[in-house]
Structure 1
């Protein structure tokens, strides 16, 4: 374990007394001493597989630290600096990470179930395959983050910034993204069953093949978005903006609510496929002319 000490703390003064001309110490420490050093302001570069369950690491400097596989269940990391930290497969369930800086952090396969990430900065963070079930990401910054195959079931992403985020094959069942910004986001083949995207910004988003069964898209901005082959069965798109949206191959049902201006057009462009469901025909965006004869839907 490498430790960089701060001279204005007791631990820092002890470290400087032991080796005053060099700020870096190479030591081996128990989990208890690791917590003491962190509480004293030490900067640790290696904590891989450490047991830090319930540790108080608020405002700790863990930038570029190796915390892979560490157990940080219920740890207090409010305001901590985890910039570029290695957290692959780390246990962070129930952890407090509000206002934490996780810019470019690697959280591949990490467990963040029920974690509090309110206002956290996850810009360019790698969360591939991470478990964020019921995590609180209200007002979090996830710009250009990688969330491929991540599990965000029941997560709260209200007003989160997800510009150019990649959520392909991710699970967001019952997640709340009210007012979230997903401009240029990739959600291809994502599972968005009963997701709340009310008044969310999804301009130019890729939702090809996404499952939006029962989704709430009321007032959402889907300008230029691609919903080709998406499943909109029972979805509510009332007052949504579908200007130039791609809807060819999208599935919908009698329970699907379209914006008032599009309801008639969607019926005109769709064919019944049985069970009260329909598939949008033609080519081009939501307002394009049909390239095949229309099939009226009664």
Structure 2
């Protein structure tokens, strides 16, 4: 087995072991996966079992869940606590992450930890109502992902792939979507107040979206958005549906 194959095998084992033994300390799971990898041939691919809730490690704050590169496609991670997880390049395609907590964790005085989903495959994943505040999602694949009612405040979505994702009713306040592909994205009632959309590609007029004067639009959309929006509360605007105001209810920002 080559070093690359061994690393991939260990990553997949960590994912399966965390799902099977969610209460085990992170260091124990990592050590077990490494030991198996060193002495066994790769296991055949199999669908991961339904997961219980992943919990904060019992060890120190630095003992984070290491699921980098893990194979978790189709896994049931609904309501899981993944605030401590490292999921860089993990395969979470079609996974159920509804109501999951992937927000920033406080490890102590002035020390913060974000869920790391950079480069993760979340295509077709169910992320309804997921807490993704401050999450790192650079270059993540979120094609066709269901992000309705998700909280993405201050999330890092630079260069993310969001084609045909459903972000209706999502909170994207101060999220960074610069360079993201927003082709066919549903932003109805999404809160884009203070969001950075500079350089976002394939973005059309986001009908129904909510924004304020801190929102930074792609250069080709800025004037068009202002022209087709109505004020819904002081300093807060909503892009019209079908050229007319959808409603004038106050929007809390």
| TM tier, smaller | 0.5 to 0.7
**Is the 1:41–1:61 contact (alpha carbons within 8 Å) kept by the matching residues of 2?**
no
- The alignment's C-alpha RMSD in Å is 3.7
Counterpart of 2:179?
A: 164
The CA distance in 1 between the partners of 2:46 and 2:56, in whole Å, is 13
Identify, as 1 or 2, the structure richer in helix: 2
Counterpart of 1:51?
A: 50
TM score, norm. by length of structure 2: 0.68
Deviation at 1:233, TM superposition (A): 4.8
Aligned length, in residue pairs: 205
Task: Go from structure 1 to structure 2 and tell me whether the alpha carbon gap of 1:31 and 1:159 turns closer, same or farther (over 3 Å shift).
Answer: closer
The CA distance in 1 between the partners of 2:145 and 2:12, in whole Å, is 33
* 1:19-98 superposed matches below 5 A: 33-37=20-24, 39-43=26-30, 48-56=47-55, 59-98=64-103
The CA distance in 1 between the partners of 2:12 and 2:235, in whole Å, is 61
Deviation at 1:196, TM superposition (A): 2.7
Counterpart of 1:122?
A: 137
Q: Which one is further off, 162-171 or 31-40?
A: 31-40
The CA distance in 2 between the partners of 1:55 and 1:239, in whole Å, is 41
Deviation at 1:200, TM superposition (A): 0.4
Does residue 135 (structure 1) correspond to residue 142 (structure 2)? The answer is no
Task: Go from structure 1 to structure 2 and tell me whether the alpha carbon gap of 1:30 and 1:236 turns closer, same or farther (over 3 Å shift).
Answer: closer
**What stretches of structure 1 of length at least 5 have no aligned partner?**
5-22, 208-221, 241-250, 256-298
The CA distance in 2 between the partners of 1:200 and 1:25, in whole Å, is 40
The CA distance in 1 between the partners of 2:210 and 2:6, in whole Å, is 44
The CA distance in 2 between the partners of 1:48 and 1:231, in whole Å, is 48
* 1:126-275 superposed matches below 5 A: 126-189=141-204, 191-204=206-219, 207=221, 222=222, 227=224, 233-236=228-231, 252=243
Task: Go from structure 1 to structure 2 and tell me whether the alpha carbon gap of 1:71 and 1:234 turns closer, same or farther (over 3 Å shift).
Answer: same
**Is the 2:133–2:155 contact (alpha carbons within 8 Å) kept by the matching residues of 1?**
yes
Paired residue secondary structure (1:35): coil
**Is the 1:31–1:51 contact (alpha carbons within 8 Å) kept by the matching residues of 2?**
no
The CA distance in 2 between the partners of 1:40 and 1:3, in whole Å, is 18
Paired residue secondary structure (1:196): strand
Q: Deviations over 1:185-242 (max 9, x none)?
A: 125346531433442011425x5xxxxxxxxxxxxxx2xx7x4xx89655349999xx
The CA distance in 2 between the partners of 1:105 and 1:72, in whole Å, is 15
**Is the 2:191–2:209 contact (alpha carbons within 8 Å) kept by the matching residues of 1?**
no
Counterpart of 2:61?
A: none
**Is the 2:198–2:217 contact (alpha carbons within 8 Å) kept by the matching residues of 1?**
yes
Task: Go from structure 1 to structure 2 and tell me whether the alpha carbon gap of 1:165 and 1:31 turns closer, same or farther (over 3 Å shift).
Answer: closer
Deviation at 1:35, TM superposition (A): 1.9
